[in-house]
Amino acid sequence: MKRVDDFRLKFGKMEFVPIVIGGMGVDISTAELALEAARLGGIGHISDAMVTDVSDRRFDTKFVKNKLRLYRHNIHNADKTIIKFDLGALAEATRRHVESAMGAKRGDGLIFVNCMEKLTMNAPRETLQVRMASALQAGIDGITLSAGLHLGSFGLLEDHPRFRDAKLGIIVSSLRALQLFLRKNARLNRLPDYVVVEGPLAGGHLGFGTDWAQYDLASIVAEVVRYLKAEQLLIPVIAAGGIFTGGDAVSFLENGSAAVQVATRFTVSNECGLPDKVKQEYFRASEEDIIVNTISPTGYPMRMLRNTPAIGAGIRPNCEAYGYLLDGNGGCAYITAYNREIGLHPAAKVVSVMDKTCLCTHMRNFNCWTCGQTTYRLKDTTRRLVDGSYQMLSAEHIFKDYQFSVDQTVELPEPAK
Ligand SMILES: Cc1cc2nc3c(=O)[nH]c(=O)nc-3n(C[C@H](O)[C@H](O)[C@H](O)COP(=O)(O)O)c2cc1C
C-alpha cells in the first residue's frame, strides 16, 4: 500500500516531500507554520495579505497608524479614491515579513508567498508589482499567484533579476483558466513552475460560482494533467481542496498530481495564526455549520463557518487604515452596501449589513472564520480534553500524518500531559 512518502515533487534536480501547506491570509499560515513545512522537506506558504498590518504586529512597525494619520480626515467620506498605499512602506513591510521567515528557515524544503491578486489596493498593477518584487528581493523561494489571477502578472516581473530563478506558480480552478494564462504569457517564454489546481472544497475564496458543488477536483485535475501531457508541457500539477488524509493524497499522486496542497488540517495546529478560541470553533463545527456565501466584496464566493462574527456586522469601512480591497477606482462592494444601509436607517446607531462584509477589518481581527469544507472532520483528528475542548496538534504531527499514513487512517496525537 502506497503512502505519500513514496512520491517526490521534483523541480528540476530538486526533490521535495510532495506536501504543500497552502497560503492562508491574514497571517493564518504564519511563518512558524511555513517553516515547519520547509523543515520537514515540504513547501510552506506565508501570505502577504495585509502585510503592513502583519509587519506592525510582528515587528512593531507603524505602517497602519501612519496611513490612518494621513487619511483620518476622510473617515466619514463615502468616496475613498484619495486613499493610496505608500509603495515604499509596502515594500518595506514585505521585506521584513519575508526576510524574517527566510532567515529562520531550516531543512531542505521551500517557503513560498501567497499573493492574492484581488487585493487591488486602489492601484492594482503598481501594488502587485511592489509586493512581488520585494518578496523576491527579500529572498523568497517562490510566489504563488491566487484569487483573481491577472493574466499579465508574470509580465510585471519580467525585468526582475530573479524572474527566471525563483519559482512562480499559479492557482487555477479550471483548465480554461490555465489555457488563458499560458496563451497570454507565451511571449515571456517563461512557463509557471507549478500549477495548483484548486477544487470546490477548499477554504478561503472559491474559483467557482455558487454552483461550486457541481464540480469535482479529481475530474479537473485529470483534465489539466491530460492537457499538459498532450501539449508536452512539463509543469507539475498540485491538487488542492478537500484532501484530508494521506490516503486521499496518494490517490491524487497516483493519478498524475506531482504534489498536494493542503490547509484545513493545519488550521488547528499550534503554529497556525488563528486564536485558540477560533480553533476550537473549527473543531466543534458540524457539516451544517459550513457554508458558502457571497459576502466577500471580492465578488468570489467564500466558505466560512455559519457563526462567523463577520456576517451581518455593519461596521464603518476602515479603508483609511487598511483599504486592501479598494479597486482601481477607490470602490469596494462593502462601502456601497454599508452606505445603502446608512441611507435606509439614518437614525440607527448600528446598522446590519447582510450582503457584504468589511473583509479587511474582519480578517485582520480573525472575525471571518473562513474554512475548508472538511473542517467538520477536524474533531476526528485529535483527542477531547477533560474540559470538553479539543487538543491542539503540532504542525509536525499533521504533516507526518499526511506523509506516512496509509489508507484513510489518521494518527491521533499523544495525549496531552
Ligand atoms: C482558513 C483558510 C484560509 C485560506 N486563505 C487563503 C488565501 O489567503 N489565499 C489563497 O490562495 N488560498 C487560501 N486558502 C486556500 C488554501 O491555501 C488551500 O489551497 C485549500 O484550502 C486546500 O484545501 P483544504 O483546506 O481542504 O486542505 C485558505 C484556506 C483556509 C482553510
For the stretch 143-202, pLDDT in tens is: 999 977 778 899 999 999 999 999 999 999 999 999 999 999 999 999 999 999 999 999
> H helices within 109-209, ranges in order?
124-137, 175-185
Distance of CA 230 to the CA centre of its chain: 30
CA of 374 to the centre of ligand 1 (A): 12
Contact 225, 237 (CB under 8 A): yes
Burial level of 292, CB count in 10 A (0-12/13-18/19+)? middle
Q: Which atom of ligand 1 is nearest to the CA of 49?
A: 8
**Closest to 368 in 3D by CA, of 293, 300, 321, 304:** 304
Neighbours of 297 (CB within 10 A): 24
Show the cell assigned to 101.
Answer: 521567515
Contact 378, 371 (CB under 8 A): no
In the predicted structure, residue 25 carries a pLDDT above the cut 90: yes
In the predicted structure, residue 370 carries a pLDDT above the cut 80: yes
In the predicted structure, residue 220 carries a pLDDT above the cut 90: yes
pLDDT at 57: 97
Region of residue 350 (phi > 0: left; psi between -120 and 50: alpha; otherwise: beta)? beta
Show the cell assigned to 161.
Answer: 533579476
Beta bridge partners, 110, equal: 43
pLDDT (average), residues 362-379: 98
C-alpha angle 4-369-153 in degrees, rounded to nearest 5: 70
Q: Return the H-helix or E-strand segment holding 218.
A: helix 217-230
Q: Which atom of ligand 1 is nearest to the CA of 196?
A: 19
Residues in the ligand 1 pocket, defined by CB under 6 Å: 22-25, 28, 47, 49, 114, 116, 146-147, 171, 198, 201-204, 240-243, 261-264, 267, 370-372, 374
pLDDT (average), residues 27-53: 98
pLDDT (average), residues 336-350: 95
pLDDT at 150: 78
pLDDT at 416: 87
Q: Which atom of ligand 1 is nearest to the CA of 23?
A: 17
Contact 57, 97 (CB under 8 A): no
Contact 90, 127 (CB under 8 A): yes
pLDDT at 390: 98
CA of 99 to the centre of ligand 1 (A): 23
Burial level of 104, CB count in 10 A (0-12/13-18/19+)? middle
In the predicted structure, residue 249 carries a pLDDT above the cut 90: yes
Quick one: pLDDT band at residue 361, thresholds 50, 70, 90? very high
CA distance 184 to 151: 6
CA distance 317 to 279: 27
Nearest CA to ligand 1 atom 4: 24
Contact 258, 238 (CB under 8 A): yes
Region of residue 44 (phi > 0: left; psi between -120 and 50: alpha; otherwise: beta)? beta
Neighbours of 366 (CB within 10 A): 17
CA distance 266 to 40: 14
For a substitution probing ligand 1, which of 4, 19, 24 has the most ligand atoms within 8 Å of its CB? 24
Q: How far is CA 74 from CA 70, 77, 302, 309, in A?
A: 9, 5, 30, 26
Task: Give the residue carrying C-alpha cell 495579505.
Answer: 49
Burial level of 37, CB count in 10 A (0-12/13-18/19+)? buried
pLDDT (average), residues 290-314: 97
For a substitution probing ligand 1, which of 153, 195, 244, 264 has the most ligand atoms within 8 Å of its CB? 264
CA of 101 to the centre of ligand 1 (A): 19
Contact 85, 123 (CB under 8 A): yes
Nearest CA to ligand 1 atom 23: 241
Contact 401, 410 (CB under 8 A): yes
Contact 266, 398 (CB under 8 A): yes
CATH code for the domain defined by 4-274+381-404: 3.20.20.70
CA distance 403 to 32: 19
Q: What is the secondary structure of 22-74 as a DSSP string?
A: PP-TTTTS-HHHHHHHHHTTSEEEEE-TTHHHHHHHHH---HHHHHHHHHGGG
Name the phi and psi angles at 381, rounded to 5: -100, 5
Task: Using only the alpha carbons of the chain, give its radius of gyration.
Answer: 21
